[in-house]
């Protein structure tokens, strides 16, 4: 009898082993598709999902706030061309992650926000569940696509669809809703395994039509004052060699958008960055490669664009064409294929632009670079943005392969102009929305995905949005050096309360705050620096040691301008004029 009992038990155990569940199917589906990292925040109902993911060999980075985890996932997607995954709890956690999902979609970064959700039946009848919310409906307008999986056997399809939607065509953010009940559902392991999908060719090449290439090259050939504009779509596409060849073979001056800096080194002789206003106003034919004519480019019209011009636009999204101004030569396809087709058509006999145009650009450049060198050379006490950035410019030059994260108002604008980038996809910044709060999320993912030390330079206001993640940085012992440009406030630190009352002015922070102590509180290294020499020493030490470091760089509170370079977007009340 005992033997029969044992046999039955063994049988039951085997049967048990041969089962899988929603938790494991989600993890297996992600791993099957080469997704190795999850950025998230555990809690009901996804705590065990995070635990099991770690137990099954995924790297799970737990944050202190979902928005930062979401930003990390988004930039991981940009850096790897695989969707970055963010995992959150239901309702409030989901909503916190949603800002990052919307930001990813806006920036064309591939990301999947996976959120646990409460019971469908209760949500749909609005019966008041724990963290009840119709998350799918809320996510939909902010995402490129949104899916919900209700049955364990559909997890493979759900994840395959999410991956394809995130990375194919114009990349973007995808929401995947996983109700708590689904995660606990069990099914036969073998059936489960067979239900998973390894996505084949998730971002298929999209070849441009040959006549669109002919049209574009004809227009380029006829140009007297051509200009190439590279955007972060070009950086994302990883067509680095061909893009460089296109620029060099044509001899056309080029401008990189902020996150396209480094696609070719900013010191490249054809870079027209230092003559930006001049080339935008004067060019007659502009070739846009992975850059939209949105607010960052004054919508392709107005004073910025000066003389009449014709546009050639290379983009994977056909509906991007004519979004702001007429596009004379649309080239629709993936940037790799488009640029390679343009190169083939151009051949080796492309007549480079005439000396008149090139000399005029160089003249402006030399003048502006000399002016900038003069500004940078000035040592001020206390430091201003330029004296502080002078040393960081040299640090980046000496460490060209480290990711450089940058956010703020003045800290962003000045750093973008001063700090040259030398390699593609190293500059990670506020992107299409000009959003603040991406700093620590981006820094964490950049360290995790690249394995390199990371330098993050943030204004004190911007840093505040994600500052608590210094604990995450310390907990995972990531080689991140955060520099906070501390001028005691938003834009500046000298505003006064107009009523003379005891409340500080709305743009003020605690004067003389010591952000470095935050990093020390969690076991990292803190430095408080007041001179360029101290700043340089602290940052170099951090990059050398790889220890989590925060450098509180004391900047003149009177330095900085209102809204950085965006003063024109900030309506002023007549009272404050
Ligand atoms: P920036 O802010 O640098 O000007 P944008 O984000 O405005 O850049 O523009 C990026 C553009 O690149 C988007 O219109 C997007 O559709 C496009 N894009 C992204 N990836 C690719 C790709 N692989 N091939 C072609 N176009 C792409």
State residue 171's pLDDT score. 98
Query: Are domains 210-363 and 378-576 of this chain identical in fold?
Result: yes
CA 270 – CA 22 distance, rounded (Å): 54
- pLDDT recorded at residue 565: 75
167: CB partners within 8 A, 6+ apart = 77, 81, 82, 83, 110, 202, 203
Does the pLDDT of residue 44 top 60, yes or no? Answer: yes
Q: What is the mean pLDDT of residues 7-17?
A: 61
Q: Which residue carries 């993890």 as its tokens? A: 27
What is the reported pLDDT for 48? 98
Task: Give residue-wise pLDDT tens across range 185-239.
Answer: 999 999 999 999 999 999 999 999 999 999 999 999 999 999 999 999 999 999 9
Whole-number Å distance, alpha carbon 412 to ligand 1 midpoint, is: 21
pLDDT of residue 577: 45
Note if the pTM is more than 0.75.
yes
pLDDT of 548: 98
| Residues 111 and 83 sit within 8 Å (Cβ to Cβ) | yes
Q: Please choose from 172, 290, 298, 299 the residue to mutate so as to test ligand 1's pocket, defined by most ligand atoms within 8 A of CB.
A: 290
* Statement: residue 46 has pLDDT above 60: yes
Burial class (CB in 10 A: 0-12, 13-18, 19+), 54: middle
Pocket test for ligand 1, best of 109, 207, 231, 256 (most atoms within 8 A of CB): 231
CA distance 228 to 207: 21
Gap between the Cα atoms of 147 and 170, Å rounded? 18
Closest residue to atom 6 of ligand 1, CA basis: 107
For domain 378-576, which CATH number applies: 3.90.245.10, 2.160.20.10, 3.40.50.970, 3.20.20.60?
3.40.50.970
* Average pLDDT value over all residues in the chain: 96
Report the residue among 173, 292, 341 best suited for mutation to probe ligand 1: largest number of ligand atoms under 8 A from its CB.
292
- The CATH T-level fold of domain 210-363 is Rossmann fold (3.40.50)
Range 100-108 average pLDDT: 98
Beta bridge partner(s), residue 429: 406
Ligand 1 in reach of 170 Cβ (< 6 A): yes
**pLDDT interval class at 12 (50, 70, 90):** low
What average pLDDT score do residues 457-470 get?
A: 98
Cα–chain center distance at 58: 22
The pLDDT, as a whole number, for residue 15 is: 56
Q: Is the CB of 330 under 6 A from ligand 1?
A: no
Instruction: Tell me: pLDDT of 5 over 90.
Output: no
pLDDT of res. 564: 72
CB crowding 350-382: b at 16 or more within 10 Å, else e = beebeeebbebbbebbeebeeeeeeebeeeeeb
Question: Hey, is 145 helix, strand or coil?
Answer: strand
3-state secondary structure 291-346: CCCCHHHHHHCCHHHCCCCEEEEEECCHHHCCCCCCCCEEEECCHHHHHHHHHHHH
Residue whose CA lies nearest to ligand 1 atom number 5: 291
Q: Tell me the pLDDT band of 563, cut-offs 50, 70 and 90.
A: confident
**In sequence order, what are the residues at sequence separation of 6 or more whose Cβ sits closer than 8 angstroms to the Cβ of residue 146?**
136, 139, 140, 174, 175, 176, 177
Return the pLDDT at 318.
Answer: 98
Residue 95: Cβ within 10 Å count:
17
Q: Answer whether residue 397 shows pLDDT above 70.
A: yes
Which residue ranges make up each domain of the chain?
Answer: 19-195, 210-363, 378-576
Which CATH number, 3.40.50.300, 2.60.120.260, 3.90.550.10, 3.40.50.970, labels domain 19-195?
3.40.50.970
Report whether pLDDT(1) > 80.
no
CA distance 565 to 305: 17
- Structure confidence by residue, pLDDT tens digits, 531-541: 999 999 999 99
Query: What average pLDDT does this structure show over 466-478?
Result: 98
pLDDT band at 575 (very low <50, low <70, confident <90, very high): low
The mean pLDDT value for 543-567 works out to 91
- pLDDT tens-digit readout, 504-529: 999 999 999 999 999 999 999 999 99
pLDDT-based confidence at residue 400 (cuts at 50, 70, 90): very high
500: phi > 0 → left, psi -120 to 50 → alpha, else beta; which?
left
Q: What is the bridge-based pairing of β-strands 525-529 and 549-554?
A: parallel
């Amino acid at each position: 009898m005992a033997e029969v009992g044992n046999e039955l038990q063994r049988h039951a155990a085997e049967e048990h082993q041969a089962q899988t569940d929603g938790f494991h199917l989600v993890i297996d589906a992600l791993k099957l598709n080469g997704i190795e990292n999850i950025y998230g925040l555990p809690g009901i109902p996804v705590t065990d999902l995070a635990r099991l993911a770690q137990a099954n060999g995924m790297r799970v980075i737990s944050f202190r706030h979902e928005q930062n985890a979401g930003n990390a996932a988004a930039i991981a997607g940009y850096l790897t061309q695989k969707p970055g995954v963010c995992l959150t709890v239901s309702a409030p956690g989901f909503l916190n992650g949603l800002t990052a999902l919307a930001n990813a979609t806006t920036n064309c970064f591939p990301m999947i926000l996976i959120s646990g959700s409460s019971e469908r039946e209760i949500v749909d009848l609005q019966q008041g569940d724990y963290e009840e919310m119709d998350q799918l409906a809320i996510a939909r307008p902010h995402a490129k696509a949104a899916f919900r999986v209700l049955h364990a056997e559909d997890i493979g399809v759900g994840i395959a669809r999410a991956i394809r939607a995130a990375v194919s065509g114009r990349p973007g953010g995808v929401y995947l809703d996983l109700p708590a009940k689904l995660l606990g559902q069990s099914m036969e392991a073998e059936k489960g395994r067979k239900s998973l999908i390894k996505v084949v060719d998730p971002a298929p090449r999209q070849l441009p039509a040959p006549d669109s290439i002919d049209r574009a090259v004809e227009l380029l050939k006829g140009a007297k004052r051509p200009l190439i504009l590279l955007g972060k779509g070009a950086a994302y596409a990883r067509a680095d060699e061909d893009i460089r060849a296109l620029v060099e073979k044509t001899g056309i001056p080029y401008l990189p958008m902020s996150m396209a800096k480094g696609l070719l080194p900013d010191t490249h002789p054809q870079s027209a960055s230092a003559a930006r206003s001049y080339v935008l106003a004067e060019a007659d034919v502009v070739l846009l490669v992975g850059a939209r004519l949105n607010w960052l480019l004054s919508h392709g019209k107005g004073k910025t664009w000066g003389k009449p011009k014709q546009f050639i636009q290379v983009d994977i999204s056909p509906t991007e064409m004519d979004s702001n101004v007429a596009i004379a030569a649309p080239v629709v396809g993936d940037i790799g294929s488009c640029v390679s087709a343009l190169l083939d058509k151009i051949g080796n006999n492309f007549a480079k632009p005439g000396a008149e145009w090139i000399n005029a650009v160089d003249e402006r450049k030399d003048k502006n670079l000399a002016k900038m060198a003069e500004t940078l050379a000035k040592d001020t006490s206390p430091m201003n943005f330029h004296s502080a950035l002078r040393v960081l410019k040299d640090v980046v030059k000496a460490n060209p392969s480290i990711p450089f994260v940058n956010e703020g108002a003045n800290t962003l604008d000045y750093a973008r102009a001063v700090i040259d980038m030398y390699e593609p996809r190293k500059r990670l910044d506020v992107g299409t929305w000009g959003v603040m709060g991406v700093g620590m999320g981006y820094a964490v993912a950049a360290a995790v995905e690249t394995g390199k030390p990371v330098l993050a330079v943030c204004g004190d206001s911007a840093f505040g949005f994600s500052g608590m993640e210094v604990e995450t940085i310390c907990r995972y012992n990531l080689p991140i050096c955060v520099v906070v440009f501390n001028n005691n406030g938003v834009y500046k630190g000298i505003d006064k309360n107009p009523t003379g009352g005891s409340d500080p002015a709305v743009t003020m922070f605690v004067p003389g705050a010591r952000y470095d102590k935050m990093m020390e509180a969690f076991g990292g290294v803190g430095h408080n620096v007041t001179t360029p020499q101290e700043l340089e020493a602290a940052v170099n030490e951090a990059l050398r040691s790889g220890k989590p470091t925060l450098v509180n760089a004391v900047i003149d509170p009177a330095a900085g301008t209102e809204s950085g370079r965006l003063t024109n977007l900030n309506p002023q009340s007549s009272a404050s004029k």
